[in-house]
Amino acid sequence: MQQWQCTVCGYIHTGDQPPEACPVCGADRSLFIALNSQGPKVSAPDKASTAPDGPQDRSDGRQWQCGVCGYVHQGAHAPAACPVCGADQDQYAAVRHFEPASAQEIEERPGPGAAPPNHRPPPAESTSAAVNPGRLEWILGKMVDLHAHPIAVHIPNGVLPIAVIFLLLGSLFHSRSLLTASFYNLAFVALAMPAVLFSGYNDWQRRFGGRLTHVFLTKMICGAVILTGTWGGVIWRLFDSALVLPGAPGRGGYIVLHLVVLAAAIVAGYYGGKLVIFPKKPR
| Three-state secondary structure readout of 28-83 | EHHHEEEECCCCCCCCCCCCCCCCCCCHHHCCCCCEEEECCCCCEEECCCCCCECC
Highest mean pLDDT among 72-81, 84-93, 157-166: 157-166
Using the predicted structure, report yes or no on whether residue 36 has a pLDDT greater than 80. Answer: no
Count of structural domains, the chain: 2
- Please identify, among 82, 98, 114, the residue that sits at the C-terminal boundary of a domain: 98
Question: How much is the pLDDT for 249?
Answer: 76
pLDDT in tens, 247-270: 777 788 999 999 999 999 999 999
Domain membership flag for residue 129: no
What does the pLDDT average to over 111-132? 48
Among 84-98, 109-123, 178-192, name the one with the lowest average pLDDT.
Answer: 109-123
Pair 200, 268 in one domain: yes
- Please identify, among 98, 129, 147, the residue that sits at the C-terminal boundary of a domain: 98
Domain membership flag for residue 205: yes
For 230, the domain range is 137-277
Q: How much is the pTM? A: 0.62
Q: What angle do CA 132, 134, 140 make, to 5 degrees?
A: 125
Q: Please, which residues bridge with residue 63 across strands? A: 74
Pair 154, 213 in one domain: yes
Question: How much is the pLDDT for 132?
Answer: 52
Pair 171, 226 in one domain: yes
Give the domain CATH number at 13.
Answer: 2.20.28.10
Question: How much is the pLDDT for 281?
Answer: 46
- Confidence grade of residue 227 (pLDDT, cut at 50, 70, 90): very high
Beta strands in the chain (DSSP E): 3-6, 12-14, 32-35, 63-66, 72-74, 92-94
Write phi, then psi, for 260 (nearest 5 degrees): -65, -45
- Confidence grade of residue 130 (pLDDT, cut at 50, 70, 90): very low
Question: How much is the pLDDT for 200?
Answer: 94
Neighbours of 4 (CB within 10 A): 24
How far apart are alpha carbons 65 and 5 in whole angstroms? 18
